[in-house]
């Protein structure tokens, strides 16, 4: 059978369905590629704080208080359960974390797909696919790069799923008894409440959906009263023993500086579609005004068919809007630019989705003439969809550039972590060491590394060979230039060393150089390998060495007085050896 014959046997309808499946799959595949390309399997920041918790589980001393304990301002009871279930069977393979996050977002999209197909008016099913595809592009947008590349952020996706599933239960699962739907939705909110601080907002956000449950006015008021009582109970339990993190800004900052706070909330709302501060604020203003209009319109027409179908989008939008307000109150003291943190976009994307679908419903329910819909509305929808896709392309390009930097930084930190047993005490006092790329406190990280070994999650080599003379050149010290002259410094001075480093004929090039003095088999400083060196690439006729340059500003405080030789090394992970670069610097500390 020829290819043309196969094509001819496929009906136009089936061809369209196959095409739609491919379009739906593209954003998911993009995220999958993104994770595989840029994720580095090493604990990062908050993930290190889980190590003592895992140690207690490993030795059997963990209790409910350990699960319920406060992390910053969050109660992460349910995420800690997830972390435990994912960590021990796979020896803390953090790839499991991020792909679990991806599976949660897939579940969220399936739920949103059901909501989108609710109340389609004056539309054929293929037109409705446009909005489901837009929802898909929103939910799997790479602008969430911080959360896609950080397993600890499971809670963000998990809470979103709880809210959206609650809406589906309350509004769509009509075959279930109303009281059963009420209880199941409440259970989802309890889980969200004890997953992170903003999970508590789910109770307030779902009020429109709770009021939409069938029943007379008295039943609706009774349900609302029970709902708010459950919220208050969760809030009280949440605050037991609660302590405000000391490093957070004044909670009244937003009242004292309304202009900064106003700019902050517009930025945080608009950033999922904007890559600059001004553009984010303009988009944020448009989204906020649009959502306010739809709330006002539904309030004025609360018995209309439009309001009936708008309710789930109102709840989803309320959740994101309340989150934006909560974050503004708690974080605007850090400055407006902080609102552009990628991790916030996972929640605020829900507000964009809500507004897009509310516009769809508004047009559908206010233009009853199908012929007018086909002539005017459909082209407008396609045009607006094209504009949104342009925004997605722009934001995704920005995300890929940021992810490249994140990946480079964490690979550098991972190399330092692997040789942690060869990093001496001076690393504890450095503010810019390679260990600080993974955690701000190097001394504590070293302690966590010991616990990792004790649990059996990691093993750090202790018998690494120091190779003074390799058969092939692995790099050179360019500055200070080779000289017999003794360079004199005081204890408080900083020595600047510049050079290049490579791993000959290997695809994975070094991302850090390690610095020692005299014949010490340990390192007191480091430098990142990421500077452009086209001369090295040209000399070796390989583009692999394009970014082989490094620079290190070495503090001399921990080196004893007198004359010393400074040496620079590169780590060969495959052969478990440190290889010295050509040249050394002779110094005298007085």
- Whether residues 478 and 336 share a domain: the answer is no
Q: What is the pLDDT along the chain (590 residues), one digit of tens a residue?
A: 454 554 455 566 677 778 778 888 888 999 999 999 999 999 999 999 999 999 999 999 999 999 999 888 889 999 999 999 999 999 899 999 999 999 999 999 999 999 988 765 555 556 677 788 888 989 999 999 999 999 999 999 999 999 999 999 999 888 889 999 999 999 999 999 999 999 999 999 999 999 988 888 899 999 999 999 999 999 999 999 888 776 666 777 777 888 888 999 999 999 988 878 898 899 999 999 999 999 999 999 888 888 889 999 999 999 999 999 999 988 888 888 889 999 999 999 999 999 989 988 888 777 654 444 455 455 655 666 666 667 677 777 888 989 999 999 999 999 999 999 999 888 888 777 889 999 998 889 999 999 999 999 999 998 899 988 777 889 999 888 765 678 888 888 888 999 999 999 888 899 999 999 998 889 999 999 989 999 999 999 999 999 999 999 888 888 889 989 999 999 998 889 999 999 888 988 88
The DSSP code sequence of 202-231 is HHHHTHHHHHTSSS-HHHHHHHHHHHHHHH
Domain that holds residue 299: 3-242+251-407
Could you read off the pLDDT of 214-233 as tens digits, one per residue?
A: 888 899 999 999 999 999 99
- Whether residues 62 and 150 share a domain: the answer is yes
Name the one residue in this structure whose structure tokens are 């200070």: 480
Query: Quick check: 38 and 403 in contact, CB under 8 A?
Result: yes
Q: How many residues are recorded in the chain?
A: 590
- The reply to whether 424 falls in a domain is no
The C-alpha atoms of residue 231 and residue 416 are separated, in whole angstroms, by 46
The tokens of 417 are what?
Answer: 């972590």
The C-alpha atoms of residue 252 and residue 257 are separated, in whole angstroms, by 9
The angle that helices 154-171 and 95-116 make with each other, rounded to 10 degrees, is 20
Q: How far is CA 60 from CA 56, 92, 303, 383, 450, in A?
A: 6, 18, 57, 59, 18
- Whether residues 168 and 26 share a domain: the answer is yes
Query: Quick check: 585 and 566 in contact, CB under 8 A?
Result: yes
Name the one residue in this structure whose structure tokens are 């696919």: 129
- For the chain, the domain total comes to 2
The C-alpha atoms of residue 287 and residue 391 are separated, in whole angstroms, by 14
**What are the phi and psi torsion angles at 467 (to 5°)?**
-105, 105
- Whether residues 229 and 95 share a domain: the answer is yes
Torsion-angle region of residue 323: left (phi > 0), alpha (psi -120 to 50) or beta?
Answer: alpha
The C-alpha atoms of residue 536 and residue 539 are separated, in whole angstroms, by 5
- The reply to whether 417 falls in a domain is no
The C-alpha atoms of residue 514 and residue 581 are separated, in whole angstroms, by 10
Q: What is residue 76's predicted lDDT score, i.e. its pLDDT?
A: 92
The C-alpha atoms of residue 507 and residue 490 are separated, in whole angstroms, by 41
- Whether residues 281 and 375 share a domain: the answer is yes
The C-alpha atoms of residue 515 and residue 468 are separated, in whole angstroms, by 13
Q: How far is CA 433 from CA 150, 206, 552, in A?
A: 21, 46, 10
| DSSP SS3 for 124 | coil
- Whether residues 287 and 139 share a domain: the answer is yes
Residue ranges of alpha helices (H) inside 367-504 are 370-372, 378-418, 442-455
Q: What is the dihedral of CA 188, 192, 195, 198, to 10 degrees?
A: 180
**What are the phi and psi torsion angles at 490 (to 5°)?**
-95, 170
- Whether residues 25 and 111 share a domain: the answer is yes
- Whether residues 41 and 168 share a domain: the answer is yes
Q: What is residue 6's predicted lDDT score, i.e. its pLDDT?
A: 43
Let me know the angle formed at the C-alpha of 40 by 400 and 163, rounded to the nearest 5 degrees.
Answer: 70
- The reply to whether 79 falls in a domain is yes
Which of 407, 438, 472 represents a domain boundary (last residue)? 407
Q: How far is CA 259 from CA 255, 268, 336, 446, in A?
A: 9, 14, 10, 43
The DSSP code sequence of 93-120 is -THHHHHHHHHHHHHHHHHHHHHHTTT-
The C-alpha atoms of residue 531 and residue 509 are separated, in whole angstroms, by 13
Q: What is residue 216's predicted lDDT score, i.e. its pLDDT?
A: 87
- The reply to whether 103 falls in a domain is yes
CATH number of residue 494's parent domain:
2.60.40.10
pTM attached to this predicted model: 0.87
**What are the phi and psi torsion angles at 423 (to 5°)?**
-100, 120
Farthest-apart Cα atoms in the chain, separation = 94
CA-wise closest residue to 377 among 367, 386, 385: 367
- Whether residues 403 and 521 share a domain: the answer is no
Handedness of CA 183, 135, 289, 381 (dihedral sign): negative
Sequence-ordered strand ranges (E) for 438-521: 465-467, 475-479, 487-489, 494-501, 512-517
- Cis status of the peptide bond prior to 49, with omega within 30 of 0: no
How are beta strands 465-467 and 487-489 bridged, if at all?
A: unpaired
Could you read off the pLDDT of 53-101 as tens digits, one per residue?
A: 999 999 999 999 999 998 888 899 999 999 999 999 998 999 999 999 9
- Whether residues 291 and 361 share a domain: the answer is yes
- Whether residues 402 and 483 share a domain: the answer is no
Which of 407, 439, 472 represents a domain boundary (last residue)? 407
Which of 407, 422, 455 represents a domain boundary (last residue)? 407
Other Cβ atoms closer than 10 A to 400: 15
Name the one residue in this structure whose structure tokens are 């060495």: 545
- The reply to whether 442 falls in a domain is no
The C-alpha atoms of residue 552 and residue 500 are separated, in whole angstroms, by 11
In DSSP terms, which residues pair with 577 in a beta bridge?
A: 465, 572
| H or E element, residue 519 | none
- The reply to whether 49 falls in a domain is yes
Query: Quick check: 510 and 415 in contact, CB under 8 A?
Result: yes
- Whether residues 467 and 397 share a domain: the answer is no
Name the one residue in this structure whose structure tokens are 């969760």: 234
Q: How far is CA 562 from CA 486, 488, 584, in A?
A: 11, 9, 16
Q: What is the dihedral of CA 265, 269, 274, 278, to 10 degrees?
A: -20
- The reply to whether 449 falls in a domain is no
- The reply to whether 422 falls in a domain is no
Query: Quick check: 160 and 167 in contact, CB under 8 A?
Result: no
């Amino acid at each position: 059978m020829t290819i043309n014959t196969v094509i001819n046997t496929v009906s136009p309808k089936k061809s369209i369905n196959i095409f739609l499946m491919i379009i739906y799959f593209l954003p998911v595949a993009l995220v999958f590629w993104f994770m595989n390309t840029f994720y580095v399997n090493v604990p990062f920041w908050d993930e290190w704080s889980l190590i003592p918790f895992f140690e207690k589980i490993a030795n059997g001393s963990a209790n409910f208080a350990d699960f319920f304990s406060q992390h910053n301002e969050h109660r992460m009871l349910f995420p800690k359960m997830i972390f435990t279930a994912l960590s021990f069977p796979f020896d803390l393979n953090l790839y499991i974390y991020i792909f679990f996050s991806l599976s949660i977002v897939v579940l969220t999209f399936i739920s949103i797909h059901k909501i989108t197909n609710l109340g389609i008016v004056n539309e054929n099913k293929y037109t409705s696919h446009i909005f489901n595809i837009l929802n898909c592009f929103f939910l799997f947008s790479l602008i969430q790069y911080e959360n896609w590349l950080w397993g600890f952020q499971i809670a963000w996706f998990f809470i979103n799923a709880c809210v959206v599933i609650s809406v589906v239960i309350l509004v769509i699962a009509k075959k279930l008894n109303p009281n059963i739907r009420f209880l199941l939705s409440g259970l989802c909110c309890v889980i969200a409440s004890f997953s992170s601080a903003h999970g508590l907002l789910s109770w307030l956000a779902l009020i429109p959906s709770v009021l939409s449950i069938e029943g007379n006015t008295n039943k609706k008021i009774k349900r609302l009263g029970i709902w708010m009582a459950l919220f208050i109970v969760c809030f009280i339990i949440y605050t037991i023993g609660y302590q405000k993190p000391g490093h957070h800004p004044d909670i009244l900052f937003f009242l004292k500086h309304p202009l900064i706070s106003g700019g902050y909330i517009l930025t945080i709302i608009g950033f999922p579609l904007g890559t600059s501060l001004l553009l984010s604020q303009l988009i944020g203003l448009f989204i906020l005004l649009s959502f306010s209009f739809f709330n006002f319109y539904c309030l004025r027409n609360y018995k209309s068919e439009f309001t009936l179908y708008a309710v789930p989008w109102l709840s989803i939008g309320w959740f994101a809007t309340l989150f934006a307000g909560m974050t503004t109150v708690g974080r605007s003291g850090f400055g407006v630019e902080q609102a552009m943190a990628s991790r916030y976009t996972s929640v605020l994307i829900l507000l964009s989705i809500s507004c897009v679908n509310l516009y769809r419903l508004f047009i559908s329910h206010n233009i009853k003439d199908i012929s007018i819909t086909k002539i005017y509305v459909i082209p407008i929808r396609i045009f607006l969809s094209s504009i949104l896709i342009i925004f997605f392309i722009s934001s995704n390009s920005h995300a890929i550039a940021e992810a490249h930097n994140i990946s480079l930084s964490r690979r550098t930190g991972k190399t330092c972590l692997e040789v942690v047993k060869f990093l001496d005490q001076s690393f504890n006092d450095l503010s810019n060491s390679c260990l600080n790329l993974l955690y701000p406190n190097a001394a504590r990280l070293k302690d966590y590394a010991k616990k990792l070994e004790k649990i059996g999650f990691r093993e750090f080599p202790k018998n690494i060979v120091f190779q003074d003379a390799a058969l092939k050149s692995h790099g050179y010290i360019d500055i200070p230039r080779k000289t017999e002259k003794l360079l004199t410094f005081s204890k408080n001075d900083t020595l600047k060393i510049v050079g290049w480093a490579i791993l000959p004929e290997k695809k994975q090039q070094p991302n850090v150089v390690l610095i020692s003095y005299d014949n010490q088999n340990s390192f007191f400083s480091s430098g990142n390998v990421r500077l452009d060196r086209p001369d090295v690439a040209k000399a070796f006729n390989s583009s692999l060495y394009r970014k082989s340059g490094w620079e290190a500003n070495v503090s001399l405080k921990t080196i004893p007085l007198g004359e010393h030789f400074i040496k620079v090394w590169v780590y060969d992970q495959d052969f478990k050896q440190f290889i010295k670069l050509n040249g050394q610097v002779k110094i005298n500390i007085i």
